[in-house]
Structure 1
Amino acid sequence: MTLTTWTIDGAEITYTDSGGDGAPLLLIHASGSADWFTPLAAEPALRGYRVIRMVRAGYTGAPAPAGLRIADHARHAAALLRHLDAAPAHVLAHSSGSTIALQLALDDPGLVRTLLLSEPPLIETLAAPEDHETLRAMLGPALGGALAAAARGAVPDAYDLFMTGVCGPAYREVMTRALGAAAVRRAQERSGYLFSDEIPAINAYTLDVPGVTRLRLPVLFIQGGASPAPFHRLIARLAGLVPGATVVTVDGDHLYPLTAPAALADLVAGFCPPGPARPAAATAGRA
């Protein structure tokens, strides 16, 4: 599906929009590639939805404004939903994209119909406190090495160090099989933003615990059965803060949006059926 370019406050984003009369489903990708949800968007189980796949600022091939925060990316997502008259939407996000989706729900709850958070990133503000030292030991060398490589201009090396540290040594094989070699090269070539701006923005993100406890919309947390235990404890912690949150496990590790898109699509369809484009209350409110 062809990407459409749109600019907000000097930031270029792109998106695909399947159209139709089904409920909008906004997909917000993780770090490292704009194509985390490309296979999912094509799954037959999602044909009843209006699927909107957003490519965030910094991932379109155009320079992004310096210093974008997670709140800025959330504001871009909110503006896109309004631009497309696609609210309220079911919102699905993976890894770092989950911080953006969560902030969107906190800042503009009227735009979000259902929130689906797929393995939020292993950062201290989200992780279980008992895992903080483990995460420093597990991810610190890879992230430190990646940032150092990027600083000396070795961006391909930085990308490999980052993706290996977060997704494991088989990441390139999985990405190539799911997306094709050209998409993997494109992700690598466009990864400068990840190291210059995105990692600092994610590390600076602070969880609004009181705000999270006040969320009053359906929230689903998704985890990979083969993912490291800190992912599971992080999700258990967050689910314990959100009233009525649901947790489900899918086969695979952190790469499951690429290895098991059909299972993920079935899960989405089961938790938030496509239904009408707007719930009855929202439709009545627009009359």
Structure 2
Amino acid sequence: MTQVHPELTRWRTGSAELAYTDSGGDGDALLLIHGGGLADWFTPLADGPTLRRHRVIRLVRAGYTGAPPPDGLTVGDHSEHTAALLRRLGATPAHVVAHSSGSTVALQLAIDHPGLVRTLTLCEPPLVDALTAPGDHELLHAEFGPVIGSVMAAIARGDLPAAFDTFMTLVCGPGYRRVMTDTLGAELVEDAVSRCRYFFTDESRAVSAWDVDPAALAHLRPPVLLVQGGASPPPVHRLIAHLAGLIPGSTIATIADANHLLPLTDPTELGRVIDDFCRSSPTRGPAVVPAAPGRP
């Protein structure tokens, strides 16, 4: 029987610790890859009813489990961790859904391991040079630069709450803390704040350094859905349009009145959009990828 609230399982691949929940069941596997600063971006979606026909696996990436992550993890490293977990669980090919910085991991996974990915859904990808519309680079550097400088100054003096608040206010708006607390609970949000150093000192640097070949995007095998919030700022909408132009056949979905917080504010609508996309998308590429030895 499928679990309603599956337990978090810890697992190591090499020197990196990951964690995951797995709803079980015999539906198509659907993997959720969270964004930056908060491991529980997708917890409401994973626990909700809209994806119940799927085997839902919610990944907690290295750096978010409480165990010290290896030094210098790249987006490619996170992608390889994800591939290893999917193989271990015998959950391939999977519908892969990612939010914010997790979108870089999901894209790299689809590029490097196309046979593991049935469909690819990217929710509000990050505003980094590798993905944003070229005309927005200078604008975003000018607007984000001073704020990121304030974030890093807070990190340097050990003020994690100030760093978290400054960054989340920038990308999610001034009401972010109420949304997170109302949705996830104050204790979980405080825990995320206490663990956010990795995101600011390591993950953000890795995501900023990541690059992607437009030719690789043009030849992506899995069907791609790009999700944006209707209330997100114009550079986000231009990023989505830019990516859609680079990925032939990709689909855009807009969730009205939502912004970067959409996995928390609109999990039911997001789940409906994802489920409809998964149902309607033909499978391209290998239908089955064998599980690695040692599947639990």
| Fold shared by both chains (TM-score > 0.5) | yes
Residue by residue over 1:6-48, the C-alpha shift from the partner in whole angstroms, topping out at 9 and shown as x without a partner, is 0011111000000000000000000010000000001211111
Task: Name the CA distance, whole Å, in 1 between partners of 2:28 and 2:192.
Answer: 30
Aligned counterpart, 2:287: 282
Q: Percent identity?
A: 58
Separation of aligned partners in 1, 2:222 and 2:19: 27
Matched, 1:218 2:223: yes
Describe the SS at the equivalent of 2:205.
helix
**SS of the residue 1:45 aligns to:** coil
Corresponding residue SS for 2:32: strand
By how many angstroms is 1:216 displaced?
2.2
User: Quick one: which of 158, 166, 169 aligns to 1:161?
Assistant: 166
- Counterpart residue number, 1:271: 277
- Report the counterpart of residue 257 of structure 1 in structure 2: 263
> Greater shift after overlay, 207-216 or 183-192?
207-216
Determine the structure 1 residue equivalent to 2:147: 142
Equivalent AA in structure 2 for residue 259 of structure 1: T
User: Structure 2, unaligned stretches of length 5 or more?
Assistant: 1-5, 291-296
The equivalent of 2:3 in structure 1 is none
Q: Does 1:207 align with 2:207?
A: no
Give the whole-Å Cα distance in 2 for the aligned partners of 1:207 and 1:120.
13
Distance 1:281 1:156, change over 3 A: closer
- CA shift for structure 1 position 281: 5.8
Matched ranges for 1:109-188 at <5 A:
109-188=114-193
Shift of 1:153: 1.4
Asked whether the 8 Å contact 1:19–1:50 carries over to 2, the reply is: yes
Separation (CA, whole Å) in 1 of partners of 2:144 and 2:182: 25
CA distance in 2, matches of 1:151, 1:261: 35
CA distance in 2, matches of 1:94, 1:148: 26
Asked if the contact 2:115/2:286 (under 8 Å) is kept, the reply is no
Q: Number of aligned residue pairs: give it.
A: 283
Q: Which secondary structure does the structure 2 equivalent of 1:25 belong to?
A: strand
| Aligned residues of 1:113 and 1:217 also touching (Cα < 8 A) | yes
TM-score by length of 1: 0.95
Q: Greater CA deviation, 246-255 or 140-149?
A: 140-149
Q: Which amino acid aligns with 1:241?
A: L
SS at match of 2:279: coil
SS state at 2:201 partner: helix
Structure 1's 281 and 194: CA in aligned 2 closer, same or farther, altered over 3 A? closer
- Kept after mapping to 1: 8 A contact 2:31/2:96: yes
- One-letter identity of the residue aligned with 2:38: S
Q: Which residue is equivalent to 2:44?
A: 39
Are 2:93 and 2:117, in contact at CA under 8 Å, matched by a contact in 1? yes
Name the counterpart of 2:78: 73
The one-letter amino acid of 2:272's match is D
| TM-score of the two chains, using structure 2 as the length reference | 0.92
SS of the equivalent of 1:142 reads helix
Alignment of 1:52-63 (within 5 A): 52-63=57-68
Residue from 86, 89, 113 that aligns with 1:84? 89
